[in-house]
């Protein structure tokens, strides 16, 4: 009788934990939201200047939100995942 070698089950481990990936998605959504806030301000007539392009939302608020999103992404990557308890 010959013993059949059963292949050992390989446990696939990702570089980051599930919580990290969720935080990465949230950070990506924050960045997209910031870029959406930058949209607009186009003049209907190209010969006219529209002051709306210099609004607080486009010049100050949106870049701060995008920067926060990138900082949040760094935090999401650097956060140490919780250890899985072995049974």
pLDDT at residue number 83: 67
Tens place of pLDDT for every residue, the chain, 87 residues? Answer: 555 666 777 887 778 888 999 999 999 999 999 999 999 878 788 888 888 888 999 999 999 999 999 999 999 999 987 765 444
Contact indicator for 35, 63 with CB cutoff of 8 Å: no
- Is the pTM here over 0.95, yes or no? no
pLDDT at residue number 1: 54
């Amino acid at each position: 009788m010959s013993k059949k070698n059963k292949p050992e089950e390989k446990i696939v481990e990702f570089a980051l934990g599930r919580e990290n990936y969720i935080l990465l998605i949230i950070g990506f959504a924050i960045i997209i939201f910031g870029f959406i806030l930058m949209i607009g301000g186009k003049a209907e007539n190209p010969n006219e200047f529209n002051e709306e392009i210099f609004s607080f939302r486009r010049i100050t608020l949106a870049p701060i939100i995008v920067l926060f999103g990138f900082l949040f992404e760094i935090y999401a990557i650097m956060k140490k995942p919780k250890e899985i308890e072995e049974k």
